[in-house]
Structure 1
Amino acid sequence: MNEEGTPDQDGIGQGGLETEATGPGITPGPFAELVGQQPAIAQLSAALQRPVPAYLFVGQTGWGTRRAADIFAGELLARHDPETADRHRRLAAAESHPAIAVVERTGAAISVEEARDIARRAELAPPEGSHQVLVLVDFHLVRNAAPALLKTIEEPPASTTFVVLAEEVTPELVTIASRCLRVDFRPIPTEVLVAAAAEEGFDPDAVAVAARAAGGDLERVRALLSDEAASQRWRRWSDLLGRVDGTAATASGLVAELIADLDAAGEALAASHARQLESFDHAEGDTPRGQTGRRKRLEERHKREARRLRNDALRAGMAALADEARARAVDAAGAQTYGRVGDGLADLELALLHNAREDLALLALLLALGEPTPSL
């Protein structure tokens, strides 16, 4: 932190926020629910004592960046208005505070027009009180829109704080990042995920499989384990090696089962989304137009979550199949099968990366798995 109170160019890890808050005695305070993110919690706690105009939270969504932004925004507003601190925290946690705008893209990337809208919003007076927070989601996808926001983030009005969320710092985001105080989030270690999910009643073995598919993302692990049939679905993948016979008829039947499992994996999430929409209510002081916009953003977010869950469910099944093949690799024939499974899963990943039809990609995998093992 320099003498003028702005962030150092190297961000939080190199600047002035490594204070006593990073020491062994730090307590998580309002950030206690951020599992496995102790360094980030320490930095956020220190940041609340010395606010700056713009922050950059870097990490995957399920590592806690968005939840941290909600909590952090609520704490900032509570700091400006301590008499109604509880209200600020409650509304911020629900993403329904009129003075906190959570800005999400509507397309594949953040458009120049969306960036200009953010800049205009930043210049307006807060909808209530003396301060507002703009939470900008998915800014690793800012692309060509970055220049439209640079000046605003560099010198925002005193009444506006930016919290920028990004999965990574892309080349297009580098200049904006240099104007922000950076907080890095990290993948949650598997053992921490297993312990956290076990405390919530999930089976540790199932959590371990889900964690491999979810890449250290607690929210995605919870989504994968959101119904009791998850383990049964993964066992179906584990059993594939004993069921394939090289025929198209058998492979087609198994593909139908796997596709049905993928559909079922999303049912609990779909029900949760339906409940969210059913209970949807506009923020205090929000306009009808604002309510419509927030609902549209919520629906777009639901679509992304559903796609991600389906992909995670598929990869969890693939992990279960790989584990079974590895367990069988105790002799030469088992080692050959293990190699064939590895090749088949790599081909499946490549096909899905190129947007191949799910059923056809799975059919190719199962036909390959059903080929007889060559005699030694």
Structure 2
Amino acid sequence: MTSVWDSVLGQDRAVDHLQHSVVNPVHAYLLVGPEGCGKEEAARALAGVLLAGNDDNSDRNNDMAVRGTHPDIHEVKREGASILKDQAEEVIKIASTTPKEGNRKAIIMHEVHLMQPSAAARLLKTVEEPPTGVFFVMLAEQVDESLVTIASRCMTIHFGPLDPAVIEHVLTSEGVKLDVAAVAAKSAHGSLTRGRLLAADKQLAHRREFFANIPRRIDGTGATVAAIVEQILSLIDDSVAPLQQRHEQEIVDTEKTLALMGVKRGGKKALEDKHKREIRRFRTDELRNGLTEVASVYRDELARNEHIHRPEGYVTAIHRLHEAMRRLGLNVNEAILLRDLIWSLPSPSADAALQFVLEGSHE
């Protein structure tokens, strides 16, 4: 017998907590972890087990839960930039209705870290004391101040970023070539979602090589710095293409769904806002990956060459690179940040030439 929990990869500790909890289930669960870590799959598996009373993957309840088609498992996703009070009211209505099958229902709420305080306040009583047979499974990337009260009413299960080996295994099992899967997994920051996007990105290896060569291109001239920055931004623009293609398909699918429901307008603006945020996050991750490659060049040079003329300059460069990675999360101007950063970096080629001259003068 295969288990419904088998759909949750690389999260053995979290799954073990959930398996023990369903013996005597609580009324509300909060699954916390980064995007693409497997908490969505875990939420559906948990909901299925709560309704089925077992974890048999062939059980009808579990099968429909994993596929997202169970009539008594309701998945709630924000309709705008955040979950508003009106949407919280809808959740309360869903909780109050009688299950269509059996005597239990589960409500999976996505991205509750983006729930407005007014919505959280409206939902609190229902989460704290839901109708008999109703279970809440909430998903969040982090627990901030606005979510603390809701979290206190839930059993919280933490999910970490996926190990690159897990992502690589999944990608190869899906037909991705081993070398491509390895590079994508390493750059995925523990997110299988991001790993799949990168695996479809044919320019990933080229970008990594480009960033690794940046220190060797630095020659102390503003023209070279400007050219490097322009090329970086062009490469990052190109890297977003697979994600934009997915977004275009989402818009088409949403419009079809709205048409079937007889809704002429609604949801498209919210979807576009969501897409903008996803693109911004993707660009930031790609830039951070690239700057990590640059930092590794200086780190390797320090380890390899004990005769570097000014090793403190390399240490400073590594610190500056990591500070730039941090600042990318503050919605800074990418071009200005990159220009100032690259202008400040030392040139290993120039240092090697200077070292050669100095050694020759001592002979």
Same fold (TM over 0.5): yes
Aligned position for 2:292: 319
Equivalents in 2 of 1:95, 1:304: separation in Å? 25
Distance of 1:297 and 1:42 partners within structure 2? 36
What is the DSSP-based 3-state SS (H/G/I as helix, E as strand, rest coil) of the residue aligned with 1:69?
helix
Match runs of 1:296-335 below 5 Å? 300-329=273-302, 330-331=305-306, 332-333=308-309, 335=311
Flag the 1:68–1:350 CA change in 2: closer, same or farther, 3 A.
Answer: closer
- The answer to whether the aligner puts 1:170 opposite 2:144 as a matched pair is yes
Deviation at 1:177, TM superposition (A): 2.3
Query: 2: distance between equivalents of 1:343 and 1:39?
Result: 34
Mapped to 1, the partners of 2:341 and 2:164 lie a distance apart of 28
Does the 8 Å contact 2:240/2:282 carry over to 1?
Answer: yes
The alpha-carbon deviation at position 94 of structure 1 amounts to 5.0
Shift of 1:305: 2.9
Q: Deviations over 1:88-135 (max 9, x none)?
A: 734x44546554433233555443444334333322445777554322
Give yes or no for contact 1:139–1:165 (8 Å, CA) kept in 2. Answer: yes
| Farther off after superposition, 304-313 or 148-157 | 304-313
CA contact (8 A) 2:99 2:105 kept: yes
**Which whole-Å CA distance do the structure 1 matches of 2:38 and 2:90 have between them?**
26
Are residues 1:210 and 2:195 paired? Answer: no
User: In the alignment, is residue 359 of structure 1 matched against residue 332 of structure 2?
Assistant: no
Distance 1:155 1:359, change over 3 A: same
Unaligned runs of 5+ in 1: 1-26
Alpha carbons 1:197, 1:222 under 8 Å: kept? yes
CA contact (8 A) 2:51 2:61 kept: no
Superposed, 1:68-107 pairs within 5 Å as 68-78=42-52, 86=60, 89-90=63-64, 92-93=65-66, 95=68, 99-106=72-79
Query: For residues 28 and 319 of structure 1, what CA distance do their matches in structure 2 show?
Result: 40
Select between 269-278 and 62-71 the one with higher mean Cα deviation.
269-278
Q: Deviations over 1:126-174 (max 9, x none)?
A: 5777554322222234462332211100111225321111223334433
Amino acid at match of 1:327: D
Note closer, same or farther for the CA distance 1:282–1:100 as it changes in structure 2 (3 Å cut).
farther
* RMSD of aligned residue pairs (Cα, Å): 3.6
Partner Cα distance (2:339, 2:152) in 1? 48
The answer on 1:137 being equivalent to 2:121 is no
Q: Report the counterpart of residue 39 of structure 1 in structure 2.
A: 13
8 Å CA contact 1:322, 1:338 repeated in 2: no
Task: Give yes or no for contact 2:80–2:270 (8 Å, CA) kept in 1.
Answer: no
Identify the residue that residue 239 of structure 2 maps to in structure 1.
Answer: 265
Query: Using a 3 Å threshold, how does the CA distance of structure 1 residues 143 and 282 change in structure 2: closer, same or farther?
Result: closer
In 1, Cα distance between the equivalents of 2:7 and 2:162? 13
User: What one-letter code is carried by the residue in structure 2 that aligns with 1:178?
Assistant: S
The one-letter amino acid of 1:41's match is: V
| Count of aligned pairs between the two proteins | 341
Taking only the aligned residue pairs, the percentage that are identical comes to: 32
Whose Rg is larger?
A: 2
Q: TM-score, normalised by structure 1?
A: 0.75
Counterpart CA distance in 1 for 2:280 and 2:161 is: 21
Query: Which letter maps to 1:321?
Result: V
- Structure 2 stretches of 5 or more lacking a match? 359-363
Distance 2:337 2:149 in 1: 41
